[in-house]
Amino acid sequence: MLTETVQSPKQALPYKKRWSALALLCTAQFIVIMDTSIIGVALPAIKSDLGYSQSGLQWIFNAYVIVFGGFLLLGGRLSDLFGARKIFMWGFAVLSAASLLAGMAWSEASLNIGRALQGLGSALIAPSALTLLLTKFTDPKELNKALGFWGAAAAAGGSAGVFLGGAITQWLSWEWVFLINIPVGLIVLVLSPSLLLKGAHRKGSIDFSGAILATAAFVIMVYAIVAAEGNGWSSAKTWGLLAFSVLLLIAFIVLQKTKKEPLMPLSIFKAFNLSAGNIVMALMAAAWIPLWFFLNLYLQQVLQLPAFNSGLALLPMTVTIMIFMMVITGKLMGRFGIKPNLVAGLLVLSLSLLIFSVAPVDGSFIMHVLPASLLGAIGMSLAYIPGTVASISGARPEESGLASGLVNTSYQIGSALGLAVIVAISSAKTGSLKLSGEGDVAALNGGFQTAFLVAAVISFAGAIVAAAGIKKAPQPENN
């Protein structure tokens, strides 16, 4: 069962403010996802002002998504225990304060800390927002429509962040890509009490130790991959850190088995399609996030586009995603089902990345960016909602917060690990090309081409997992 009613069984009337509430929740989803992408166009300006290295730039992204992904399960648990609305509002309070710190950053460390705290706020927002959405729509047709808007807000947030980041960076300054969250956060906090239901409260304990173990494991794993460029892949330090991160993950799993009220009850993986759906979402993110990350760098560092023009170049992606998510994807799901759309979307995304993998140094927007970016947008639009639905639809109503947190965790951790691995491969390729006598721009572009190729392989792997692992939902028996 995908959702539960927000009223007692005797009350069949839907929540009157559900569409206004949906608009607020979609705004929240847009902001949370936008915060992963809005920094893309601003990266060169931030690098210049704060002294980041080329490979160190990814920490502006990873500091956010690692903490976001690491604490999403805790956010889902808190939402189930204390009520989704309360945790949703606490999340926006944390996000707004962290955005102020990031916007006033004076050093590499201060910006990374601000981004990490933004991730913590988003980890409280994302699962509670999805739970609030699921509990406000009782009609299946309305719910599918609402999920279409939700998916559009997420995917458009990722692409629109690129455009907004370009406009803000060129016309204001990079600091405003963070400060923009503050007025939006205040508006959400003012409107939430009147539009959102409190949600159910349950008794139970909070597994803070589990949240810390999971987050520490992923932070160390990503750091080991990023630092391998300097330490060397064969060094004892690199493999020691990777082994330590695996030990922390094992300790987390053991803790979940022994705790009376674990952060992530392992029994939830018995839910229909949940395991396969989460693997697919992780692979999807590991391909999609490097696409926009390296495409931003290609536009500015290879094609030499100004920040605003770089953001404007990706505006067609945003429009395409919004049209598909709100108008087309839901209809295709209704006609063909979850699995065909998910597989088709990942295959189209793979094709987009393959086209980018041959983008030349003297490329043009019309020939080498627009067609592939539109294909990428279509692929993501076809895959994102089916992947999300596959991951949460089999969970019990009382586990909706946990399932929502889990699918968001898979997506964010997949994006962080995928980006870390691909940045390491890309940097190594660029370095080898420079040693062989290639010019700086040509070597940089060679690294970008390799990054797109690896992302294409990951997306194709996601399509294979979806084709093999996603099953049709069992039909209820007729009485």
323 in Cβ contact with 451 (< 8 Å):
no
Task: Looking at the structure, tell me whether residues 368 and 448 fall in a common domain.
Answer: yes
Cα atoms found within 13 Å of the Cα of residue 92, Cβ hemisphere only: 26
Task: Looking at the structure, tell me whether residues 212 and 304 fall in a common domain.
Answer: no
Range from 21-25, 285-289, 413-417, 418-422 that averages highest in pLDDT: 285-289
> What pLDDT was estimated at residue 354?
93
Task: Looking at the structure, tell me whether residues 98 and 198 fall in a common domain.
Answer: yes
| 10: in domain | no
| 9: in domain | no
Q: Compute the residue count for the chain.
A: 479
> What pLDDT was estimated at residue 97?
92
- Where do the H-state alpha helices sit in 15-134? 18-37, 43-50, 58-82, 84-103, 108-134
Residue 38 phi, psi (nearest 5):
-65, -20
> What pLDDT was estimated at residue 45?
79
Q: What is the DSSP track for 171-184? A: HS-TTHHHHTHHHH
- Structure tokens of 236? 């004892």
- Answer yes or no: is pLDDT of 262 > 60: yes
If you compute the radius of gyration of the chain from its CA atoms, what whole number of angstroms results? Answer: 21
Cα–Cα distance between 298 and 387 in angstroms, integer?
Answer: 29
Task: Looking at the structure, tell me whether residues 95 and 241 fall in a common domain.
Answer: no
Residue 357 identity: S
Task: Looking at the structure, tell me whether residues 166 and 234 fall in a common domain.
Answer: no
The last residue of one of the domains, among 262, 297, 332, is: 262
Give the domain range for residue 396.
Answer: 18-206+263-469
- Answer yes or no: is pLDDT of 134 > 80: no
| 244: in domain | yes
**8-state DSSP, 8:** -
- CA separation, residue 477 to residues 2, 159, 392, 397, 474 (Å): 18, 43, 21, 20, 9
Task: Looking at the structure, tell me whether residues 44 and 161 fall in a common domain.
Answer: yes
The alpha carbon of 158 is separated from its chain's Cα centroid by a whole number of angstroms, namely: 8
CA-based angle 117:124:98, to the nearest 5?
25
| Model confidence pLDDT, tens digit, residues 453-463 | 999 999 999 99
| 218: in domain | yes
Task: Looking at the structure, tell me whether residues 88 and 175 fall in a common domain.
Answer: yes
**Confidence at 12, pLDDT banded by 50, 70, 90:** very low
- Answer yes or no: is pLDDT of 150 > 90: no
Output the CA torsion 407→257→466→288 (10° steps). 40
Task: Looking at the structure, tell me whether residues 99 and 161 fall in a common domain.
Answer: yes
- Answer yes or no: is pLDDT of 474 > 60: no
Task: Looking at the structure, tell me whether residues 305 and 447 fall in a common domain.
Answer: yes
Task: Looking at the structure, tell me whether residues 140 and 71 fall in a common domain.
Answer: yes
Task: Looking at the structure, tell me whether residues 163 and 305 fall in a common domain.
Answer: yes
Q: For tokens 């792997």, name the residue.
A: 461
CATH of the domain at 34: 1.20.1250.20
Q: For tokens 């590499």, name the residue.
A: 108
Residue predicted with more confidence, 395 or 317: 317
Contacts of 190 (CB under 8 A, 6+ apart): none
| Model confidence pLDDT, tens digit, residues 101-126 | 988 888 878 888 898 898 889 888 87
The last residue of one of the domains, among 262, 296, 330, is: 262
Give which of 103, 138, 105 is closest to 8, Cα–Cα.
138
- Answer yes or no: is pLDDT of 192 > 70: yes
- The model's pTM is 0.73
Cα–Cα distance between 200 and 82 in angstroms, integer?
Answer: 7
90 in Cβ contact with 120 (< 8 Å):
no
Q: For tokens 């990031």, name the residue.
A: 102
Task: Looking at the structure, tell me whether residues 250 and 392 fall in a common domain.
Answer: no
Instruction: Tally the domains of the chain.
Output: 2
